[in-house]
Chain A
């Protein structure tokens, strides 16, 4: 792809735009909630009317030269807030404005609006306040201790991806479906019929709202076209206006229509609420391919035009940082990235190889655009050609961190095990960091990270948290009283179960608050079978519903258990008192013990069963505590193993650990080994990582850092391809490559101004190195570098 002047300019603009907080949405939402009309409506209809009010009154933005239109805020990177979900205090705004990383400019006008309009109205009324009031003391104690985090405290439930249907359907068609669904309501036997009626009415309003919004853009474009003096741009604006009159009301037919259609939908979802993982077009190569082929055959689209369209589309994602967070949530996920993940490759609905010409075109776009969002991944199926992987490696080698590699066969098996149909499973993929989902049919909510090493730490202290000075866990005894390793394991298992219970109870209460107070009629239009069931996405309307709790620190907790078994029980190198004493002092004066723990103790990541058996043991305990337990949406809880950046936060609340890790340092991330302990090369890491049963999760994350030397020639591509395919034959879910050398990174730390474009793979996503906190930067530098042979 050769980037045109137009795309180059828009890209620069997007990269240079400053993240700024916009009060527009908060203000409109407040006005609507204060209105007389709002008081008279059922909750679903009220939310739909609020959505309509936003789209009717929000400022439109058409950038010079843009081909795809629409912004969530008044301009690129101007980011709205969602006071009905969580209310920023003036102090929060001050922090956002001044903090070094992931900051948002908050100007005096916004501050004033917050002080006089937003805070007075929403104080005590946001869903965050509601949630915190509903949580039990045990939940709050565990939350403060850093045992788990809570996803839905500052953002709405998300994790859903657009499926095939919406790329072939217009909202006028959906209105017909709604009509049909209302017609078939059974007011005689179905006690919920009236509720369904209100929900369906709300969905219908949401359809009209998004069509109205597109027409507003059409009007604005027509106005601009009328005033435009450049004949080329004039024609372009005219054509864009026509497209906005057609979609999303009607099904899109051309590439340009599909992209604009999707982008209206995207804006709808992220304006209605602030669902996690933004929103995502999913299997984009599949969605675009039929129109692409048709237009190419008809000669109605030139390659340069197509690349221009895709370039403009890509930039749209980059214009939308994730909504500003506060408190713990800001550190568990400290990034502007909003986790859009374009899926390429995999298999088609009928199970055949899905790699097509558009797959390669989009890989070209990813390579040429080189921007943070949207993220990208390749789904690697046994049926996909090696050429596809080689082309992805070509991008990975540049140190961009994208695309990451996923195992299609594992994803399908994971979904089938959860009861999805074969077709829905094949149409699925991964979104967010690594989360498996059935696209277009599933609401798979992430609910929070779960700090496994911290729970083991509590198990050593009779359930007492030495950092917050509180009894957070069960009284299972003190380390020195465990007579055998098995006794310790039993206690650990009981503690995991105890905290899983607290978390799940909390989840079930929290999920219900979204069903009751914050339905999402617009998002419900997009995910099957909400219309058919007359049920909201937030209330179990989707065909499949899943609630995930994400286990964190597998490498660290495995090394902790291994060290305890090896040094205390098997080799009897120290007593519990000696070890606990050293941990309490963070190894000050006990360097000899720490040396033994680090250098002379087996570690996870070296294909050594002595260590790896504990990864399996922890996995099974965690799985048993969570998997299959009901959620209020008719779905169940399941596990996955990914940290985003929470391993840094969780590390910061966890004291020194028996693997030799110093207090408050980051935990291991994903299912990767602890930083620097894998000494046997990548095949051993992959072997260790494949000992847990990936197919019983909804995703695992493995990060493998390589120096660029591993990508130097054709042979190395072939070998890396074999490495990936072997890991996937072992049922590994995901692997990502960080290609960079430590020297470059150290230099980047010293001279950030020279490395503004440096992107590294963090954990399931890429980020600008400069935007990472120093601890996270250090951790990435530290991760084992397999030196080129």
Chain B
């Protein structure tokens, strides 16, 4: 059994504690307007055309975004960086796309990583059958759980899916005893108006628990726009500005009122 992965990042330092290796798994049921990994949306390998430049000459190359990895492939990559992961108390993170979209493979991979002594993290949108989630809980040390919008209508409009399952799954995880970091993408004009921010704060306060370790505020950034062209996906975020550092600090103070640790960035 193999997993479809579109990118492997070593010295990943924003996807959980310490130095990590992050595997970006392909396929996602959401279609968020601001997605900065659009190549992670389709569950199939895709061809990408890349221009490689030598002086004034351009060499066009077709590469596959998405390759199949076995669990052993994953362990071999982790083994290469083991010393860094151990020294930094880091580990492995499965991100995406939506890793739970390949639940079978994810369970196997997590189980093997856990058996290998690695700290495991899953970066999820939360949009997955509760059953899949339950299967990975025993092998996952940390969940990075995205919380995008509390209003179902708006959530549906900007991500293509309802947030009902997501919020239920968050409750499930909160009760599981596993560490959770809630990640809020700060998207100007979508979820950063005062009333929604207050709702979010109150929601987190209400659900505050021992295992909710941190709130990560992820400022919207534009790095994805050029990728959209490459994948022929319309880019709907034209004209949206990245939140300023001051604004992010303001939000950090605001969410700190919950008493939960807040960090800007991963």
Interface residues of A (CB under 8 A from B): 591-592, 594-595, 598-599, 607, 680-684, 686-687, 710, 712-713, 715-716, 718-719, 722-723, 725-726, 729-730, 786, 789
Find A786's partner among B11, B54, B84, B89 (CB 8 Å cutoff). Answer: B11
Smallest CB separation, B40 vs chain A (Å): 15
Of all chain A residues, the one with the shortest Cβ separation from B264 is: A713
A682 touches B54 (CB 8 A): no
B residues near A725, Cβ cutoff 8 Å = 87
A718 vs B266: C-alpha distance in the bound complex, in angstroms? 14
Find A729's partner among B9, B52, B83, B265 (CB 8 Å cutoff). Answer: B83
Give me 17 A-to-B residue pairs in the complex whose CB atoms sit less than 8 angstroms apart, sorted by A's number.
A591-B55, A591-B57, A592-B59, A598-B52, A599-B61, A683-B19, A683-B80, A684-B10, A687-B80, A713-B263, A719-B13, A722-B19, A723-B11, A723-B19, A726-B84, A726-B88, A789-B13
A residues near B90, Cβ cutoff 8 Å = 719, 722
B88 touches A719 (CB 8 A): yes
A789 touches B55 (CB 8 A): no
Is B81 at the interface (CB under 8 A from chain A)? yes
A residues near B80, Cβ cutoff 8 Å = 607, 683-684, 687
A740 vs B59: C-alpha distance in the bound complex, in angstroms? 30
B residues near A713, Cβ cutoff 8 Å = 263, 265
A712 vs B14: C-alpha distance in the bound complex, in angstroms? 12
B12 touches A730 (CB 8 A): no
Q: Take A607-B80, A726-B83, A789-B14 as given contacts and tell me if A718 and B88 are in contact as well, using a CB distance cutoff of 8 Å.
A: yes
Within 8 A of A (CB), among B11-65: 11-14, 17-19, 52, 54-55, 57, 59, 61
B residues near A684, Cβ cutoff 8 Å = 10, 80
B11 touches A715 (CB 8 A): no
Find B54's partner among A591, A710, A722, A726 (CB 8 Å cutoff). Answer: A591
B residues near A594, Cβ cutoff 8 Å = 54
Of all chain B residues, the one with the shortest Cβ separation from A591 is: B57
A729 vs B82: C-alpha distance in the bound complex, in angstroms? 12
B54 touches A719 (CB 8 A): no
A598 vs B53: C-alpha distance in the bound complex, in angstroms? 10
Q: Take A681-B9, A681-B11, A789-B13 as given contacts and tell me if A729 and B87 are in contact as well, using a CB distance cutoff of 8 Å.
A: yes
A residues near B61, Cβ cutoff 8 Å = 599
B residues near A786, Cβ cutoff 8 Å = 11
Of all chain A residues, the one with the shortest Cβ separation from B12 is: A789
A residues near B18, Cβ cutoff 8 Å = 718-719, 722
The size of the chain B interface, using a CB distance under 8 A, is 26
Interface residues of B (CB under 8 A from A): 9-14, 17-19, 52, 54-55, 57, 59, 61, 80-81, 83-84, 87-90, 263, 265-266
Find B10's partner among A680, A719, A729 (CB 8 Å cutoff). Answer: A680
Q: Which of the listed residues A607, A680, A682, A683 has the most CB atoms from chain B within 10 Å of its own CB?
A: A683
A722 touches B88 (CB 8 A): yes
B residues near A729, Cβ cutoff 8 Å = 83, 87
Of all chain A residues, the one with the shortest Cβ separation from B8 is: A680
A residues near B19, Cβ cutoff 8 Å = 683, 719, 722-723
Find A683's partner among B11, B52, B54, B89 (CB 8 Å cutoff). Answer: B11
A713 vs B266: C-alpha distance in the bound complex, in angstroms? 11
A80 vs B97: C-alpha distance in the bound complex, in angstroms? 66
A476 vs B62: C-alpha distance in the bound complex, in angstroms? 42
A118 vs B102: C-alpha distance in the bound complex, in angstroms? 81
Of all chain B residues, the one with the shortest Cβ separation from A716 is: B13
B52 touches A599 (CB 8 A): yes
A726 touches B87 (CB 8 A): yes
A171 vs B129: C-alpha distance in the bound complex, in angstroms? 82
A595 touches B9 (CB 8 A): no
A719 vs B55: C-alpha distance in the bound complex, in angstroms? 37
A591 vs B83: C-alpha distance in the bound complex, in angstroms? 40
A599 vs B265: C-alpha distance in the bound complex, in angstroms? 33
Of all chain B residues, the one with the shortest Cβ separation from A714 is: B263
A722 vs B11: C-alpha distance in the bound complex, in angstroms? 11
Of all chain A residues, the one with the shortest Cβ separation from B86 is: A726
Of all chain B residues, the one with the shortest Cβ separation from A690 is: B83
A683 touches B81 (CB 8 A): yes
Across chains A and B, which 10 residue pairs bring their CB atoms closest together, nearest first?
A722-B88, A681-B11, A591-B57, A726-B87, A722-B87, A681-B10, A726-B84, A726-B83, A595-B59, A719-B13
A384 vs B231: C-alpha distance in the bound complex, in angstroms? 50
Q: Which of the listed residues B18, B52, B57, B83 has the most CB atoms from chain A within 10 Å of its own CB?
A: B83
Q: Take A722-B19, A722-B87 as given contacts and tell me if A595 and B10 are in contact as well, using a CB distance cutoff of 8 Å.
A: no
B residues near A719, Cβ cutoff 8 Å = 13, 18-19, 88, 90
B residues near A718, Cβ cutoff 8 Å = 18, 88
Q: Which of the listed residues B9, B17, B87 has the most CB atoms from chain A within 10 Å of its own CB?
A: B87
A715 vs B266: C-alpha distance in the bound complex, in angstroms? 10
B residues near A722, Cβ cutoff 8 Å = 18-19, 84, 87-90
B11 touches A599 (CB 8 A): no
A410 vs B9: C-alpha distance in the bound complex, in angstroms? 29
Smallest CB separation, A713 vs chain B (Å): 8
A residues near B84, Cβ cutoff 8 Å = 683, 686, 722-723, 726
A595 touches B87 (CB 8 A): no
A682 vs B10: C-alpha distance in the bound complex, in angstroms? 8
A residues near B83, Cβ cutoff 8 Å = 726, 729-730
Smallest CB separation, B57 vs chain A (Å): 4
A residues near B59, Cβ cutoff 8 Å = 592, 595, 599
B11 touches A682 (CB 8 A): yes
Smallest CB separation, B56 vs chain A (Å): 9
Of all chain B residues, the one with the shortest Cβ separation from A682 is: B11
B residues near A716, Cβ cutoff 8 Å = 13
A594 vs B88: C-alpha distance in the bound complex, in angstroms? 40
Smallest CB separation, B227 vs chain A (Å): 14
